[in-house]
Amino acid sequence: MSWDCAVQGTSNPYLYRVNWEQAIQDYLHYLRLERGLSDNSVQNYRRDVGKLAVFMRDHAPDRSPKNTRREDIEAFVHALAAKLKARSQARILSGLRGFFAYLIFEGYRQDNPMELVESPKIGRKLPDTLSVADIDRVIGAIDRSLAEGERNRTILETLYGCGLRVSELLDLRLSDLFFEEGFIRVTGKGNKQRFVPIGSFNQGCISLYLREIRPHWSPKKGCEDLVFLSRRGGRLSRALVFAVVKDLAEKAGIGKRISPHTFRHSFATHLLQNGADIRAIQQMLGHESITTTEVYMHVDRTHLSEVVQRYHPRKTL
């Protein structure tokens, strides 16, 4: 049952409308306007905090966001542990910390019931990557005799060539291309913009697509400035890009599941392996924290060992 249904089904709807529902709506409004989060991120927070609202309705109906206690949260965590993996639990608890911190900021309450609640310990998941040869095989599996094939090739080259997220690629606009300067402008999480270098090979792929393919797909209203279009001139969906990558991976005989994000991971890993500075990679990926980028330092320990063997003055007896 969704938290909305729980609110409507309570014997005292006024209590929940004023407290849980209104508090959550105010929080989502804050995330959109003050934090600048995307609709997708906001809806994720809505679902996560909503799970607590449903739990409280069923187990502590006299509690509101103003008087929820640490013991209530711990009972909620115990319930989550029976249904969700540690990583999902940790994500929900992170969202709740933000929610209660917001309530304190707005003066709804003085303390944070999440303060002493520990998140489950999760192992650090290393990102899947592809070798350069594997990337060539995937892109080589594209049927470039088809118009959408040339578009798909350009999409994969741009994901790998610039390390973009899928959402960033789909939002890329003609007005974001600064080829003479060698950069593209990318709008990332929280609508934060950054400039990412783009190589001449990737520029050539995009230029060919823009010259030979895109003019035949009349853009729909609102899509005139988008770089990547569907055959009907509309905005491409995330699902389509994921499906394209999955299909090409199967055709190329890649023995593991990959996604569009795999090309972003490969971009970062290959740059690091070839000597790029990790802070430069951080800026290109749009990571707020260097800690997020440092995961790529753990991806290929064999390469790091080879670096020591090759460059350290005392590598041999």
Q: What are the contacts of 19-23 at 24+ separation with CB within 8 A?
A: 19/64, 19/65, 19/66, 20/53, 20/56, 20/57, 20/64, 20/65, 21/53, 23/65, 23/99, 23/103, 23/108
Q: Which of 6-10, 65-69, 228-232 has the highest mean pLDDT?
A: 228-232
Judge if 200 and 94 occupy the same domain: no
pTM: 0.62
Q: Which of residues 62, 90, 105 is at a domain's end?
A: 105
Q: What is the spatial distance between Cα 24 and Cα 34, in angstroms, rounded to a whole number?
A: 15
Provide φ and ψ at 228, rounded to 5°: -100, 125
User: pLDDT grade, residue 101 (50/70/90)?
Assistant: very high
- Predicted pLDDT of residue 90: 86
CATH number at residue 285: 1.10.443.10
Q: Is residue 29 annotated as a catalytic residue, yes or no?
A: no
CATH number at residue 76: 1.10.150
Write the CB contacts of 198 (distance below 8 Å, at least 6 apart in sequence). Answer: 161, 162, 179, 182, 183, 184
Residue 70 vs residue 139, higher pLDDT: 139
In a domain, 117, yes or no: no
User: pLDDT grade, residue 4 (50/70/90)?
Assistant: very low
Q: Is residue 264 annotated as a catalytic residue, yes or no?
A: yes
User: pLDDT grade, residue 124 (50/70/90)?
Assistant: low
Judge if 157 and 245 occupy the same domain: yes
Q: What is the bridge-based pairing of β-strands 193-197 and 183-187?
A: antiparallel
- Predicted pLDDT of residue 36: 86
Tell whether the model's pLDDT for residue 171 goes beyond 70: yes
Tell whether the model's pLDDT for residue 95 goes beyond 70: yes
Residue 149 vs residue 63, higher pLDDT: 149
User: How crowded is the C-beta side of 238, counted as CA atoms within 13 Å?
Assistant: 9
Mean pLDDT for the stretch of residues 88-106: 90
Residue 150 vs residue 278, higher pLDDT: 150
In a domain, 66, yes or no: yes
Q: Is residue 137 annotated as a catalytic residue, yes or no?
A: no
Query: Residue 34 sits in which domain range?
Result: 3-105
Cα–Cα–Cα angle for 209, 213, 215, rounded to 5 degrees: 110
Q: What is the spatial distance between Cα 16 and Cα 55, in angstroms, rounded to a whole number?
A: 13
- Predicted pLDDT of residue 151: 97
Judge if 230 and 138 occupy the same domain: yes
Judge if 195 and 287 occupy the same domain: yes
Burial class (CB in 10 A: 0-12, 13-18, 19+), 3: buried
Judge if 64 and 174 occupy the same domain: no
Judge if 67 and 212 occupy the same domain: no
Report the percent of the chain where pLDDT is more than 70: 86
Judge if 49 and 190 occupy the same domain: no
Catalytic residue among 46, 151, 153, 264: 264
Q: Name the 3-class secondary structure at 193.
A: strand
Residue 173 DSSP class: B
Q: Is residue 124 annotated as a catalytic residue, yes or no?
A: no
In a domain, 239, yes or no: yes
Catalytic residue among 165, 214, 265, 270: 165
User: pLDDT grade, residue 12 (50/70/90)?
Assistant: very low
- Predicted pLDDT of residue 87: 81
User: pLDDT grade, residue 247 (50/70/90)?
Assistant: very high
Tell whether the model's pLDDT for residue 192 goes beyond 60: yes
Q: What is the spatial distance between Cα 91 and Cα 102, in angstroms, rounded to a whole number?
A: 17
Catalytic residue among 32, 35, 109, 189: 189
Pure H helices in 34-131: 39-59, 70-81, 86-105
Judge if 284 and 176 occupy the same domain: yes
In a domain, 233, yes or no: yes
- Predicted pLDDT of residue 254: 94
In a domain, 116, yes or no: no
Q: What is the spatial distance between Cα 256 and Cα 233, in angstroms, rounded to a whole number?
A: 33
Mean pLDDT for the stretch of residues 55-64: 88
Q: What is the pLDDT of residues 211-224, one digit of tens each?
A: 999 999 999 999 99
In a domain, 120, yes or no: no
Judge if 60 and 136 occupy the same domain: no
Judge if 167 and 83 occupy the same domain: no
Tell whether the model's pLDDT for residue 39 goes beyond 90: no
Q: Is the alpha carbon torsion for 173, 175, 181, 187 positive or negative? A: negative
Q: Is residue 287 annotated as a catalytic residue, yes or no?
A: yes
Judge if 62 and 199 occupy the same domain: no
In a domain, 209, yes or no: yes
Task: Please give the tally of structural domains in the chain.
Answer: 2
Judge if 89 and 201 occupy the same domain: no
User: pLDDT grade, residue 234 (50/70/90)?
Assistant: very high
Q: Is residue 14 annotated as a catalytic residue, yes or no?
A: no
In a domain, 113, yes or no: no
Please name every residue paired with 235 in a beta bridge, in sequence order, or none if there are none. Answer: 229
Q: What is the spatial distance between Cα 46 and Cα 165, in angstroms, rounded to a whole number?
A: 23
Q: What is the dihedral of CA 312, 314, 315, 317, to 10 degrees?
A: 170
Q: What is the 3-state secondary structure (H, E, C) of 200-262?
A: HHHHHHHHHHHHHCHHHCCCCCCCCCECCECCCCCECCHHHHHHHHHHHHHHHCCCCCCCHHH
